[in-house]
Chains A and B, each alone.
Chain A
Amino acid sequence: MFSPKPPKPTFTSYLSPLQTDAKKYLPVSTKKLEARLLPGEIVVNEANFVRKCIGADSSQDDLWGKLICTNFKVSFVTHDSLPQQRFQCVHRLLGEHDVPLACVEQVVTVNDAKGKQKVLGSNKKLKFNPTELILYCKDFRIVRFRFDEAGPESAKKVCLAIAHYSHPADSQLLFGFEYVGTCFYGSSGEKVNGVDLGKRVQTAMFDSSSDWDREIKRTGASEWRVCAINEEYLVSPSLPEFFVVPSSLADQDLKQYACYFKAQRLPLWCWNHPNGSALVRMSSITEPQQQRKLDQRICSAIIKSHPMRSNVLKTDLDKSLPSIQEIQTALVKLRQICVIEPFVESEEKWLSSMESSRWMEYVRAFLRHAVEVIYMLEGKQSSVILQEEEDRDLSCVIASLVQLMCDPHCRSLAGFQGLVQKEWVMAGHRFLDRCNHLKKNDKEESPLFLLFLNCVWQLMEQYPAAFEFTDMYLTVLSDSMWVPVFSTFLFNCPRQRAEHSRDFALSKSISLGKDKVLQFPPVWDWSQQFSQKDQALFNNPLYVGKSAPCVHNGTVRTFTHRRSKKNYSSTLRGLPSDLKNGGLAVLDTLPRRNSLMPRLRTDVAQANERQESPAERFLQDWLSRPADLHGLLLPQLLPSHLPLWKLYFLRWVPEARIPNGGPITTFHKLSVLVDEIEILQNQLRQYTGGATPARSPSSPQDEPSKMYFRAGLSPSESPAPPEYLSSSFPFSPMGNLCRRGVLGTPLSKFLNGARIWLSTETLANENL
């Protein structure tokens, strides 16, 4: 941080070549620089002699190169290398300085001589020649280019091109279509790179009835069945082709009910608690006259599917959680505080600004609501219906958080990916609209998925050994939303994916062969983006995993809840009367046919008003006992115990970077140790005759280590942490956060002295 920067070649210095370092001698022209293009990618426009700004207060580290706009990305190619940067996660689709167009939030052009500034949209005119281009990115980066030496016309053109191409007119202009079309399907119609993606990815996609069958078996939901009435999307446009319903509901009934639900979205089964309670999500019923009858039918069917015929409780998410617009507003404010406002000025009011963004409050609200649902499932042993008007936003977050907390399977990498697939992609979360890939309707944009990942991160912080993956994984997953080639984040629902890719194939005369649709790779095919070695950063060395599979012939006891049978509140006073005798009490209040309606109250809304709700007591009681990492995990909800996700939100902020510090330094040590243990295990196995029943026969003897950081040659000499580690690792703020007009480094700030806020009190009290 304080080491003097080595002298770097500047533009002037290479015009008059007095450089002593021959390697740093640069060609006068940057014209020979070429963009690295992917299949289907074409160059739209480019400008030479562009300077990428690196330091905020001086231009001495700036890089010279060519700025290129393609149909996929804004690319900056240069011969220069970044100062002090010795590490970067290599992205297979993007170069070091590239920004995908889908990641561009705002394109701002500046002419500082004229003092003009303009935000460029699609097909906008630009009346001045820009001297500077600033790209505000969705992943919180701010990238700045200067055109001082570039031709004014070419600078203007490239800016307009970037603005235009980052606002695609329709979704088929998103790069993924060209890419997948060219990459996987040649013009002859043969699959070129025809890898069967399903086999490469060990994640349940939930696009087939067999995936759902397995999930039913895994969770022991024996009274539930896979329903195929939506094949070819004949019933509902936004539901998947296959979903799970109570066994007692016949296809014929479902078809009849469908029209009364918003967008024909019938209730979807999500998951079964080991006690038999089910988690179900449902949209609102559009016909008021049908409401009562339909509610009753659905509920009695769900009750029939419960082994104890337990109650059904409904929670209205729209009433108890912030709206998607409020969540979007919170993120915009958070971005303002984290990366746009000058570092020093925002220090003073950092905590209260954080509070006023409300982001952390929302994270807490979602976690809390998930706990309340779990209380109903586990404490009250009731099935729960998550109701949301469209059932495509808030329910995705709650449904997946509930499963993450209850079901250890969801904390494995494959399980987590399956969970996202099940509750987000297949359930029809509008990724296309919420990501606002087409930048058409800002009101639809909302970072629900990021909010979910932030909630997951909080759980990981509190239970660091319970998850197979790391926070780097979560960050990279979030960033992948802005790489528009993955099926996961490109569409609003499975049907849209099918239609759009079919239309595209038709228009480009791609013969799909036996595939019904163009096969976009899911984001879970991580080899699309990262090498096997870099993917090792996803593996949590702390993970206390289960080696045994979770399915035991579909019985309920698939994973253990050590305390699920014990009445949680028996040790506390003031417990609700119906719970005094523990689980059996629920049986006593088995609903009679006609007394069902009053039970369908929105329990959660009421609970919030009381001093300490039963759900809170449930949480407190759970927290007072040791946690079982293979069982239920509930989060501590006190705001003092919910910190900011620093890796995600502060990774680009150079002033906040801790060189050679941060949690990554313990991660490094842990990885090395785990790698050492792995090596020892292999050596031990060799002694025991080489038979390795634990591993699948197909895996080679020396399969790559799961750890990114490897052990040294001998246990005595443990490798030193690499110099490039920092709290931003594996990301680098270098050149990725270039705020305008921000002067000063942290040190110069200290030298200015901090502001005094108590001076009169101080004067009176000074130690005499």
Chain B
Amino acid sequence: MASAPAPLPGYISSPLENSSSQNASRESLKMEPLADVALLPGEERVIDKDLIYMCPFNGALKGKVFITNYRLYFKSTDSEVTVTLDVPLGVISRIEKMGGASSRGENSYGLDITCKDMRNLRFALKQEGHSRRDIFGELFKYAFPLSHGLPLFSYLSQEKFEENGWAVYKPMDEYRRQGLPNERWRISFINSGYDLCDTYPTILVVPFQTPDEDLRRVATFRSRCRIPVLSWIHREKQAVIMRCSQPLVGMSGKRNKDDERYLEVIREANNTPKLTIYDARPNVNAVANKATGGGYEGEDAYQNAELVFLDIHNIHVMRESLKKLKDIVYPNVEESHWLSSLESTHWLEHIKLVLSGAIQVADKVCSGSSVVVHCSDGWDRTAQLTSLAMLMLDSYYRTLRGFQVLIEKEWISFGHKFASRIGHGDKNHADQDRSPIFLQFIDCVWQMTKQFPTAFEFNEHFLITVLDHLYSCRFGTFLYNCETIRENLKVRSKTVSLWSLINSDVSSYVNPFYTHESSRVLYPVASMRHLELWVNYYIRWNPRIRHQQSPVEQRYKELLALRDQYLKKLEELQLSDSSPSSTHLTNSSTPNAASPNQHLTHLQTPF
């Protein structure tokens, strides 16, 4: 009873940077500045240095930086407002020297660090005696271990968790959950040695009628042998979502009878009148791909199919869009023309196209028609579309576990090139393969949670945690491009899964408003009127913004606790009531009797 929760919503500071105005005495700071950050098991100190953090909000702050093999930690020493930075080295995309030994101007000599998570860090050092040489060297080495022949931190981590996150996704279990195999769809082990397709998982679901030899012939006609395989099946209507890469049509307009027959078999599996092929790309891009041997399914060749282009742009366009977004939110929010600046980044418009593409896929499947989804290689836009459509169609994926399965299945096992898109441990910041495709997917999920706040078991904090560890390299979950490589490098045995962390204590990741509704299909409204910039993610480094975990969520949790207290109290009273001796002993001055009203004022509930 005494532990009634505080009436105010709890305010959490952003997870990786903290500002606190505690008047900690200087002495205690000098004694052990790293004492307040617990090192992870396996984390080791590398170097530390006195320097100046050029905070874009508070100005130059003197302090000390500590580099470990996992993180960069900074704590200011001379300011009344204590500023700390806690940055996993994995989020660093680029480190540059700023100024030279002869640079003029205050604090013009130092390091400039660009991060993958929408912020930059700048440190200034004394100009004498090459003071930055050692710290630059070490930082460069540990931020980009793969470029220096060093292991990623996840291989050094000794973290132990109650739950084993690697056990979350078992492909056979997931297909069985979907009701597979059945009389029309079979499990194929043709790829068990990754010799059909080296970027696919070992277990694939294909039409029952199609023998493995046919699959091999189909593979010759699909880019990188990524043949159409089943992602999801509608239990009642047996309509399926198939994913694949583009057909290798080329300039000459090649055809492949096996591919054509294969799609026909897919169509016939549930008697879909016309198979819909969703090509995620804009029409012109699909045409342009013919020049390099790719292309799209022609009308003549695939007579029982209709082709729909979804106008989603490629990884380069998305990268540039996010870059523009960063320009208008970091370090300062563009105030004078905020909305038109936001519009000119096109970020929300891309989100809209991805979401509306997924809505079309989901709607088609819901109406009983099978669909095929592809883009060029079928590992970026295709993954976005299939996973979002599955999220709309299948409430299982909206649970905390189910969402993990969805990511493991549609993204990780089907070869979204996380290593290339994120560039874990790699110094080539300008690599053209980098692109925020997965971030865009998580943003789309967030948009859905905003529109349906009771439909998802996980909360915003969970999504942000996923994104933080997309870069951190603390867990093996998002490492490498495909299953072949992961198997070779023994990711599952040598690293910890992100889901181990999450599932060992889910309380902070759970949405208290979650209401389980098994059969509901969610169609978000993909309109600019509803799409919002995810400020709690993109603008979270700005200390001018109060970082609070949803006050509505907090308050709901408080009320839930209050209800449980009352229920318990009532139970106790009912028990004591049934024992006759105590019936008339209650008097108004006992704590029990006074409790309801006490709580009333204590918790300041609205009665």
Physical interaction between A and B: yes
Kindly identify which residue among B8, B339, B529 contacts A355, using a CB–CB cutoff of 8 Å: B339
**B377 on interface, CB distance cutoff 8 Å:** yes
Confirm or deny: B588 has a beta carbon within 8 angstroms of a beta carbon on chain A. yes
Grouping DSSP codes into helix (H, G, I), strand (E, B) and loop, the A interface class, with mixed when no group exceeds half, is: loop
Complex CA gap A678/B606 in Å reads 10
Q: Contact check, B340 vs A658: say whether CB atoms are below 8 A apart.
A: no
Determine whether B329 belongs to the interface, using a CB cutoff of 8 Å to chain A: yes
Asked if residues B376 and A766 are in contact (CB atoms below 8 Å), the reply is yes
For residue A643, which residues in chain B have a CB less than 8 angstroms away from its CB?
532
B314, A766: Cβ atoms closer than 8 Å: yes
User: Using Cβ atoms and an 8 Å threshold, which residues of chain A touch B21?
Assistant: 571, 624-625
Chain A: CB-nearest residue to B342: A351
Specify which chain B residues have a CB less than 8 angstroms from the CB of A662 in the assembled complex.
Answer: 451
B563 touches which one: A545, A638, A680 (CB < 8 A)?
A680
Judge whether B523 and A684 touch: CB under 8 Å: no
Chain B residue at minimal CB-CB distance from A683: B570
For the complex, is A541 an interface residue (Cβ under 8 Å from B)? yes
Q: How far is the CA of A738 from the CA of B555 in the complex (A)?
A: 40
Assess the B316–A640 pair: CB atoms within 8 A.
no
- Judge whether A758 is part of the interface by a CB distance below 8 angstroms: yes
A598 within 8 A of B: no
Report the Cα distance A350→B594, complex, angstroms.
Answer: 56
CB of A762 closer than 8 Å to a CB of B: yes
Name which of B29-37, B353-361, B495-503 contacts chain A: B353-361
Q: How many residues of A contact B (CB 8 A)?
A: 99
B127 at the interface (CB under 8 A from A): no
Determine whether B80 belongs to the interface, using a CB cutoff of 8 Å to chain A.
yes
A753 touches B19 (CB 8 A): no
Give chain A residues whose Cβ lies under 8 Å from the Cβ of B284.
Answer: 756, 759, 762-763
> Does B544 contact A620, Cβ atoms closer than 8 Å?
yes
Contacts of A625 in B (CB 8 A): 21
Chain A residues, CB < 8 A from B597: 693-694
Interface string of A344-355 (1 = CB under 8 A from B): 000111111011
Interface contact B546-A768, CB-CB below 8 Å: no
A227–chain B nearest beta-carbon distance, Å: 37
Complexed CA–CA distance, A264 and B305 (Å):
79
Verify A351–B545 contact, CB threshold 8 A.
no
The residues of A that contact B353 with a CB separation of less than 8 Å are 754
Task: Determine the residue in chain B with the shortest Cβ distance to A670.
Answer: B556
Decide: A639 and B333 in contact? CB cutoff 8 A: yes
The yes or no answer to B114 lying at the interface (CB within 8 A) is no
Residues of chain B lying within 8 A (CB to CB) of residue A349: 343
Complex Cα spacing A349 to B348, Å: 12
In the complex, the answer to whether A666 meets B343 with C-beta atoms within 8 Å is no
Q: How far is the CB of A613 from chain B (nearest CB, A)?
A: 14
Residues from chain A with a CB closer than 8 A to the CB of B288 are 763, 766
**Residues of A with C-beta under 8 A to B310:** 753
Which residues from chain A contact B529 at a C-beta distance below 8 Å?
Answer: 347, 350, 644, 646, 650, 653, 656
Among A34-42, A553-561, A743-751, which stretch is in contact with chain B?
A743-751
Q: In the assembled complex, which residues on chain A have CB atoms less than 8 Å from the CB atom of B40?
A: none
B339 contacts A351, C-beta separation under 8 Å? yes
Q: B residues within 8 A CB of A360?
A: 339
Q: Are A767 and B314 in contact (CB under 8 A)?
A: yes
Are B313 and A463 in contact (CB-based, < 8 A)? Answer: no
Cα A601 to Cα B602 in complex, Å, equals: 45
Check if A548 is an interface residue, CB within 8 A of chain B.
yes
A residues less than 8 Å from B596 (CB atoms)? 681, 684-685, 688
Choice from B375, B567, B573 contacting A715 with Cβ under 8 Å:
B567
Cα-based distance from A623 to B19 in the complex (angstroms) = 12
Q: Report if A549 contacts B (CB, 8 A).
A: no
Docked Cα-Cα span, A59 to B556, in Å, equals: 45
Residues of A within 8 A of B282 (CB): 756, 759, 762
Q: Are B515 and A663 in contact (CB under 8 A)?
A: no
A354 touches B339 (CB 8 A): yes
Contact A352 B343 (CB under 8 A): yes
How far is A533 from B314 in the complex, measured between Cα atoms in Å?
Answer: 53
- Give the shortest distance, in Å, between B590 (CB) and chain A (any CB): 9
CB of A721 within 8 Å of the partner chain: yes
Interchain CB contact under 8 A, B604 and A638:
no
Partner of B560, one of A348, A541, A545, A673: A673
A640–B586 contact, CB under 8 A?
no
Instruction: Decide yes or no whether B337 CB sits under 8 A from chain A.
Output: yes
Chain B 258-292 per-residue mask, 1 if CB under 8 angstroms from chain A, else 0: 00000000000000000000000111110011001
Which residues from chain B sit less than 8 Å from chain A, CB to CB? 7-9, 11, 19, 21, 59, 80-81, 281-285, 288-289, 292, 308-311, 313-317, 329, 333, 335, 337-340, 342-343, 346, 348-349, 352-353, 356-357, 359-360, 363, 366-367, 375-377, 380, 451-455, 513, 515, 517, 520, 522-530, 532-533, 535, 539, 543-546, 551-552, 555-556, 559-560, 562-563, 566-567, 569-570, 573, 577, 586, 588, 592-597, 600-601, 604-607
Task: Write the residues of chain A forming the contact surface with B, with a CB cutoff of 8 angstroms.
Answer: 1-2, 343, 347-352, 354-356, 360, 463-465, 468, 539-548, 571, 573, 620, 623-629, 636, 638-641, 643-644, 646, 650, 653, 655-663, 665-666, 668-670, 673-674, 676-678, 680-681, 683-685, 687-689, 691, 693-694, 706, 715, 720-721, 727, 746-747, 750-751, 753-754, 756-759, 761-763, 765-768
Beyond known contacts A665-B453, A669-B556: 4 more, CB 8 A cutoff: A347-B529, A354-B339, A662-B451, A687-B577
A sample of 11 inter-chain contacts (CB < 8 A) reads A351-B340, A542-B552, A640-B535, A661-B455, A669-B513, A669-B515, A688-B593, A751-B360, A756-B311, A766-B281, A767-B316
Sort A-B residue pairs by CB-CB distance and give the 5 closest, nearest first: A639-B338, A350-B528, A355-B339, A351-B343, A680-B566
